[in-house]
Chains A and B, each alone.
Chain A
Amino acid sequence: MRDVTRPLAIKLLFGLAALAAIAGSVAVGQTQAPYEVEGRKSGYLFMTPATRSLQDDEFQNPGMFIVERGRDLWNRAEGPDGKSCASCHGDAEASMPGVAARYPVFDPAANGLVNLEMRINAERAAHMKAPPLKYESEDLLALTTYISMQSRGQPVNVAIDGPAQPFFEQGKTFYETRRGQLDLSCGQCHEDRVGMKLRGDVISQGQLNGFPIHRLSWRAMLSRHRIFAWCNTSVRSEPYELGSPEYLALELYVAWRGRGLPIEAPAVRR
């Protein structure tokens, strides 16, 4: 019995040490934006104290496990030239802070918006000749979470002017359109009925600053576009594809709604 349990214990110890290293490096020297800015509230404030402390505690936060995987992927060489993200960007803790707070952005090459997930895949294609990671795969969620985490505490700050402006307007229209058999718009829940109980859930402002989040009721990590698809399906509307232009425009608008809120990835939600 001992021979079996001891390696497991050692593995666990190593795992914890790795988590501690990640946790320590991020907490240092960053100012934390408040969870509420001019009436805009993070989903964090709608969670119970128990769920909040699960998020706050690096060792208990169930999203931290994927962060470890994300760091491995960051450093793992792929493609014919044997390059990794780190080959170009070095230490993510030095090069990535602030990035997640700015996305999605207008990308002249794509002549449209790109979000973090799509930027990761574009970088892989251009500089590593590596195949794209599937949307919502463990690997893409892991890298997105790892990169987002480098911006923890920084205020969401997306550009909505210039070439981004028409996409912003498109996202706003999406947000305000009643849709599906239940005939409800995003805003009818996340603006007009905030704090009310919808069955067993308390409706939050539907902010994006915590993403990717760990959803306790699903025991899973999910991306921003995955929650859009869930909210669409909940009103019996046909969802769009993850990564679609419709969801990118919506992502820009919803991110702007939460301007100033701190990046929290990986946040823990009900």
Chain B
Amino acid sequence: MLELAKTILAAAVLALSAAACGAADLAAYRVENGGVAAPLTDEPGNPARGRQIVRDMGHVTCLICHRMPIPEEPDHGEIGPSLEGVGSRLSVAQLRLRLIDSKQVNPDSVMPSYYRTGGFTRIGAQFEGRPIYSAQQIEDVVAYLALLKDK
């Protein structure tokens, strides 16, 4: 009984420390022809969820830098190009790489890498080891962007 309790406790402590240091393992992906063709998750991206995620302040909203067809948000940045019609300009694979790690598209880009954990200087302690988006969130946002077609 005591042994069992100890085991459970040890497992709980392990789980807790894993959560605390947040070392989320990134899904492997392959860059080919300027894009990432294969989805990061088995579950297909959900564009409605994607539209919610891109507005979320807690996930470094794209609106900081981009104009987007989201009229209910008052302030859209103008650091990057407008994302209206971006689904006609770029393929799903290109969109995926752009989100995962924009620096592999343009090393001088000021756009954050949404799915990268290494190579930062003095990153805030609570962000260490955690990408801005989870793999599923990448897929959801890619699915949303792909629908932004030229009218």
Contacts and interface: CB of A to CB of B under 8 A. Distances in A.
Interface in A160-204: 177-184, 188, 193, 196-200
Given A198-B77, A199-B63, A180 B123 contact: yes
A197 B127 CA distance: 26
A200 B77 CA distance: 7
A197 B120 contact: no
A226 B110 CA distance: 24
A181 B79 contact: no
Contacts of A137: none
A121 interface: no
A236 interface: yes
B124 interface: yes
Given A198-B65, A236-B123, A238-B125, A182 B78 contact: no
B77 A181 contact: no
A181 B64 contact: no
Contact of A181 (B75, B103, B110, B112): B112
Contact of B79 (A179, A198, A233): A198
A237 interface: yes
Contact of A237 (B78, B79, B103, B124): B124
A197 B124 contact: no
B77 A197 contact: yes
Interface in B75-112: 75-79, 103, 110, 112
B113 interface: yes
A236 B129 CA distance: 13
A236 B69 CA distance: 27
A198 to B, nearest CB: 5
B124 A184 contact: no
Given A199-B63, A199-B64, A236-B127, A178 B121 contact: yes
B74 interface: yes
Contacts of A233: 124
A198 B65 CA distance: 6
A179 B120 contact: yes
Nearest to A193: B79
Nearest to B112: A182
B135 interface: no
A199 B120 contact: no
Given A182-B60, A182-B112, A188-B110, A200 B124 contact: no
B121 to A, nearest CB: 4
Contact of B112 (A179, A183, A199): A183
B37 interface: no
A179 B127 CA distance: 13
Contacts of B121: 177-180, 183, 237
Contacts of B122: 179-180, 237-238
Contacts of B132: 181
B125 to A, nearest CB: 6
Contacts of A181: 60, 112, 120, 123-124, 127, 132
A232 to B, nearest CB: 8
B78 A238 contact: no
B114 to A, nearest CB: 10
Contacts of B79: 193, 196-198
Contacts of A199: 61, 63-64, 75-77
17 contacts: A180-B122, A180-B127, A182-B112, A183-B103, A183-B120, A184-B110, A188-B110, A193-B79, A197-B76, A198-B79, A199-B76, A199-B77, A200-B75, A236-B127, A237-B121, A238-B123, A238-B125
Q: Nearest 8 pairs between A and B by C-beta?
A: A200-B75, A179-B121, A197-B78, A236-B124, A181-B127, A182-B112, A199-B64, A199-B75
Given A181-B124, A236-B60, A237-B122, 17 more contacts: A177-B121, A178-B121, A179-B120, A180-B122, A180-B124, A181-B60, A181-B127, A182-B60, A183-B103, A183-B121, A196-B77, A197-B75, A197-B77, A198-B65, A199-B61, A199-B75, A237-B124
